Amino acid sequence: MTKTKVAIVGGGFTGLSAALDLCRAGCDVTIFEQDSDIGGLAGTFELSPGTRVEKFYHHWFTNDVDILNLIDELGLGHMKRYVASNTGLYYTNSIFRLASPFDLLKFYPIPLIDRIRTGFMALLARRVNDWKPLETISAQDWLIKYGGKKAFEVIWRPLMLGKFGVEAANVSAVWIWNKLKLRGSSRNSKGGESLVYFGGGFGALTDGIRAALQREGVTIKTSTGVKQIVVENGRAVGVDTTAGRFAADVVFATVPLPHFVEMTPALPADYARKCGQIRFLGNSCLVLRLNRSLSSTYWLNVADPSFPFVGIIEHTNLDPKENYNGEHIVYLSKYLPTTEPLFSLNNDDYYAYCEPFIKRIFPEFDRSWVNSYHVWKAHFSQPVITERYSQLIPDTKTPIESLWLGTMAQIYPEDRGTNYAVRYGRRIARDIIQALAETPSAKDAAA
Ligand X SMILES: Cc1cc2nc3c(=O)[nH]c(=O)nc-3n(C[C@H](O)[C@H](O)[C@H](O)COP(=O)(O)OP(=O)(O)OC[C@H]3O[C@@H](n4cnc5c(N)ncnc54)[C@H](O)[C@@H]3O)c2cc1C
**Least distance between ligand X and beta carbon 285 (Å):** 6
Cα separation, 378 vs 167, in Å, equals: 18
Q: Which parts of 278-337 interact with ligand X (CB under 6 A)?
A: 283, 285, 333
Count interface residues toward ligand X (CB under 6 A): 37
Q: Out of 6, 7, 8, 9, which residue is the one contacting ligand X (CB under 6 A)?
A: 9
**CB-nearer residue toward ligand X: 195 or 392:** 195
8 Å CB contact between 171 and 385 = yes
Q: Which residues have CB under 8 Å from 188's CB, separation 6+?
A: 82, 84, 194
8 Å CB contact between 300 and 311 = yes
**CB-nearer residue toward ligand X: 151 or 218:** 218
Stretch that binds ligand X, among 7-15, 69-77, 130-138, 267-275 (CB under 6 A): 7-15
- DSSP secondary-structure letter at 172? B
> Residue 360: which H helix or E strand, with range?
helix 347-361
Q: Which residues have CB under 8 Å from 198's CB, separation 6+?
A: 71, 76, 79, 80, 81, 204, 205
Q: Is 59 one of the binding residues for ligand X (CB under 6 A)?
A: yes
8 Å CB contact between 285 and 381 = no
Q: Is 20 one of the binding residues for ligand X (CB under 6 A)?
A: no
**Least distance between ligand X and beta carbon 54 (Å):** 8
Q: Is 410 one of the binding residues for ligand X (CB under 6 A)?
A: no
**CB-nearer residue toward ligand X: 11 or 238:** 11
Q: 349-386 burial, b for 16+ CB within 10 Å, e for fewer? A: ebbeebbebbeebbeebeeebbeebbbbbbebbbbbbb
Q: Is 203 one of the binding residues for ligand X (CB under 6 A)?
A: no
**Least distance between ligand X and beta carbon 19 (Å):** 11
**CB-nearer residue toward ligand X: 151 or 220:** 220
Q: Is 32 one of the binding residues for ligand X (CB under 6 A)?
A: yes
**CB-nearer residue toward ligand X: 284 or 402:** 284
Long-range contacts of 209-214 (CB under 8 A, 24+ apart): 209/16, 209/17, 209/20, 209/38, 209/74, 210/16, 210/38, 212/20, 212/74, 213/16, 213/19, 213/20, 213/23, 213/31
Q: Is 34 one of the binding residues for ligand X (CB under 6 A)?
A: yes
Q: Out of 19, 42, 68, 248, which residue is the one contacting ligand X (CB under 6 A)?
A: 42
**CB-nearer residue toward ligand X: 144 or 266:** 266
Cα separation, 403 vs 250, in Å, equals: 6
Q: Is 13 one of the binding residues for ligand X (CB under 6 A)?
A: yes
Q: Is 254 one of the binding residues for ligand X (CB under 6 A)?
A: yes
Q: Out of 66, 208, 419, 426, which residue is the one contacting ligand X (CB under 6 A)?
A: 419
The residues binding ligand X (CB under 6 A) are 9-15, 32-35, 40-42, 56-60, 225-226, 254-255, 259, 263, 283, 285, 333, 378, 381, 407-408, 416-419, 421
